[in-house]
Structure formats: structure tokens, C-alpha cells
């Protein structure tokens, strides 16, 4: 890229950020923009905010009018500056700006599609798999995805603060010695202060049979300014793995890259979970660019999720057939590290089920006929003593 092109790109970025700052009657200040506390205080949450930034469609306007009674709207300035103000089909905009389509209840839509509530022995603790639990640390996020699996809980104000629940959760985990893996999610645990997060992780690390602590977060995408050296040191100290969430190559900004570099340099293992979304990333070229970009940041694409059938998300969901088609256009056409496992989190609480194009054509007498990524057939013969 030429120097002039780089300067033009920088100018466009600055102009987009200045437009967001004007919503709040402020001028763009790079130092202030880089402060994660400023970012959280200046999130776009109201119709007036979006009117000042975007050419809203009637569907978006209606969605924003209805959102307060349904599912909260919140977009960080960092993420808002990535939206195309003139294109309602902008893949960034589609993820966070509500539409009237959210009123449509499609066939198979569910309030709790993953069946978490019925596997919750305690408020904010889900024990669905034998050896691992999900701990909902809080019910707020930096920005709210319109396809949120936990929209029944997130931003609803029903979940008690973790400080009031932690003693009971720790007691449960101490009693259930079969649990070796805890995933902290929510909400987004990385919105907690270092002191609060330190307290939670220390309590968990003190339980002898817990081997594996993970945090699910979209902060490096929505609020990369939050990834400070102090936070990285805390995560390293408690040997935490991070499961990140990126949906589109446009999200791989220099700030997100810096955040991921800081985490990787700090020894934090990084994986990414991507939700397959209609009009956002439902084509092989977009996903390949995203997954290649993630690998450059030392983030391993881990899961490609079929979008959960949350009430009001039909307009954002693809068919399984479309997902299988996309996966078939990835596998064999790029490095295996860039091809995540395509899964459905089975509605009703069945857990994650891998979905893949058929590779086993036939099996008889210890001889397997297999189809590769080109559709060509090959045979594999079991060892004689195992037939």
C-alpha cells in the first residue's frame, strides 16, 4: 500500500471517530479514544445516538424504538466507528443495530435455546457437561449482539452480583470433584475491574481439582482498549485461556491486533468462536479472510457456530445446508488451522454437535471408503488384528 493510501485510510478512520465523538458533543482525541473507561461511558444506547451517526432505515428506526422493552442496545465508540453510515447491510451494523425483524418469532425459536436454565443448580452456574461448568460472572457486555444466546439474562438486571453468589458457587465446585474446567462468561467477565476479577480467579484457583480456567469474551473486538498490561499480567498469573469472538474481517482493526498481540505475548492461549450470520459472514471468502486474519494475530479459529435459534433472530440465521456448503469450500482449500469445527449447540440443551460434510462413504470388513475435500474416493484398511 502506498504512503498516500495509508494517509487516506488514516483520514477516513479519524473522520469516522470524529463523527462518533460529535454525538456526545466532543472532539476526537486519540488519547481519550484509547481509554477504555471513556469508551464504556460513551456507548451508543439510544435512538438519538444512532440517528446522529447513521442513515437509519424504517426497520432500524422501529427496532431502536422497541429495543428498550426487549433487549438493550449498546455499542462502543470503537465498534460504532466501523459501521458504514450509509449501508444498512454493513456487516458491522447488522450485528448491533436492532431491526423490526426482531419482532418475528420463527419456527423453532426458543427463549433459552441451549437449555441452560434447566441445568443450573445455582443462579448463574450451568452444569450441563460432566466435567465442566459455565459460570455467568455478570450480565453486561461492552456491546450487545442482536443474536445473543443469553438475551433472556444479559442486560435484564435479573442476575445478582457475583459477590453475592460466589460463596455458594465455590461451595458447589468444592463438593463436585468431577468438575475440572470452568468457563467464565456472561455478560463479559473482562468488564470487571482487575481487583474483582483477581478475587474470583483466586477463589477458583484455590480449588485443587480445577485444572482449566477459561474466559469467554468479545472485549478484544468491541473494546480492545481494555486489554491493558495489568489485565494481561492477571490472566497470566492465573493461567487463563481466552475464547474470543470475532465475526468479520473488518473487526480485525489495529487496536484489536494490538490487544491480541499483547495477550499472546503475555502467554495467554487464544481461540476464537465465530457465529455464522446471514448477511455478515455467510460466504467462504469472508470467513477465509477472517480466519486467516485471526491466525496472523495468533488466534486459533476454534468453533464456527450455527446461530442459536433465539427468539427474534430468524433474519440473522442461515440454513445448515448453507453452513455445510461453506465448510466444504474451506476444508482442503486452506490450512487446517484456519478451519474451525462447525457445530450446532443442540436446541434444548443437547450440547455441541459437530456438523460436517459426509466423508465416510462405505465401511465393510475393515475397509473404509472415504471422500476427500475434492470428492475423490480413497480406501483405508484397518489392521488385521482389529478386524
Residues catalogued as catalytic = 128-129, 132, 141, 145, 148, 150, 308, 345, 352
Is 321 buried (19+), middle (13-18) or exposed (0-12) by CB count in 10 A? exposed
SS3 192: coil
Q: In 3D, which of 298, 246, 250 has the Cα closest to residue 274?
A: 246
Is 112 buried (19+), middle (13-18) or exposed (0-12) by CB count in 10 A? buried
Give exposure, 9-48, as e/b (b: 16+ Cβ within 10 Å).
eeeeeeebbebbbebeeeebeeeebeebebbbebbbbebe
Is 239 buried (19+), middle (13-18) or exposed (0-12) by CB count in 10 A? middle
Distance CA 95, CA 382 (A): 48
Give the sheet arrangement for strand 125-129, strand by strand: 125-129, 132-136, 181-185, 212-217, 240-244, 270-276, 300-306, 341-346, 351-354
How many other CB atoms are found less than 10 A from the CB of residue 204? 19
SS3 183: strand
Is 368 buried (19+), middle (13-18) or exposed (0-12) by CB count in 10 A? middle
Residue 342 β-bridge partners: 304
- CB-based contacts of 67-72 (< 8 A; 24+ apart in sequence): 67/98, 70/98, 70/102, 70/312, 71/98, 71/102, 71/144, 71/146, 71/148, 71/151, 71/154, 71/155, 72/45, 72/144, 72/154, 72/155
Q: In 3D, which of 272, 343, 356 has the Cα closest to residue 308?
A: 343
Amino acid at each position: 500500500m502506498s504512503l498516500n493510501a495509508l494517509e487516506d485510510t488514516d483520514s477516513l478512520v479519524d473522520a469516522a471517530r470524529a463523527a462518533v465523538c460529535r454525538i456526545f458533543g466532543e472532539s476526537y482525541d486519540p488519547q481519550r479514544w484509547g481509554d477504555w473507561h471513556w469508551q464504556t461511558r460513551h456507548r451508543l444506547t439510544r435512538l438519538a445516538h444512532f440517528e446522529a451517526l447513521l442513515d437509519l432505515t424504517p426497520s432500524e428506526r422501529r427496532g431502536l424504538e422497541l429495543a428498550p422493552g426487549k433487549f438493550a442496545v449498546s455499542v462502543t465508540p470503537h465498534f460504532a466507528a466501523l459501521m458504514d453510515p450509509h449501508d444498512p447491510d454493513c456487516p458491522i451494523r447488522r450485528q448491533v443495530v436492532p431491526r423490526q425483524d426482531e419482532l418475528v418469532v420463527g419456527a423453532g425459536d426458543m427463549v433459552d435455546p441451549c437449555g441452560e436454565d434447566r441445568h443450573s443448580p445455582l443462579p448463574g452456574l450451568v452444569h450441563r457437561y460432566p466435567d465442566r461448568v459455565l459460570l455467568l460472572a455478570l450480565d453486561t457486555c461492552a456491546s450487545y449482539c442482536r443474536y445473543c444466546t443469553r438475551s433472556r439474562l444479559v442486560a435484564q438486571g435479573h442476575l445478582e452480583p457475583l459477590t453475592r453468589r460466589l460463596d455458594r458457587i465455590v461451595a458447589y465446585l468444592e463438593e463436585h470433584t468431577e468438575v475440572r474446567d470452568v468457563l467464565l462468561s456472561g455478560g463479559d467477565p473482562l468488564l470487571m475491574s482487575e481487583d474483582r476479577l483477581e478475587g474470583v480467579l483466586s477463589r477458583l484457583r484455590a480449588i485443587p481439582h480445577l485444572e482449566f480456567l477459561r474466559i469467554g469474551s468479545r472485549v478484544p473486538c468491541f473494546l480492545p482498549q481494555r486489554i491493558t498490561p495489568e489485565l494481561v499480567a492477571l490472566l497470566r498469573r492465573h493461567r487463563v485461556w481466552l475464547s474470543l469472538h470475532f465475526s468479520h474481517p473488518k473487526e480485525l482493526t489495529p487496536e484489536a491486533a494490538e490487544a491480541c498481540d499483547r495477550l499472546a505475548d503475555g502467554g495467554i492461549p487464544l481461540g476464537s468462536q465465530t457465529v455464522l450470520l446471514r448477511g455478515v459472514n455467510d460466504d467462504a471468502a469472508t470467513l477465509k479472510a477472517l480466519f486467516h486474519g485471526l491466525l496472523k494475530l495468533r488466534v486459533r479459529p476454534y468453533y464456527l457456530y450455527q446461530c442459536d435459534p433465539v427468539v427474534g433472530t430468524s433474519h440473522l440465521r442461515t440454513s445448515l445446508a448453507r453452513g455445510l456448503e461453506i465448510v466444504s469450500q474451506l476444508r482442503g482449500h486452506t490450512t487446517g488451522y484456519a478451519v474451525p469445527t462447525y457445530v450446532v449447540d443442540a436446541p434444548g440443551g443437547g450440547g455441541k454437535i459437530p456438523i460436517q460434510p459426509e466423508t465416510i462413504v462405505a465401511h465393510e470388513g475393515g475397509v473404509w471408503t472415504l471422500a476427500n475435500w475434492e470428492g475423490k474416493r480413497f480406501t483405508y484398511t484397518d489392521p488385521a488384528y482389529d478386524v
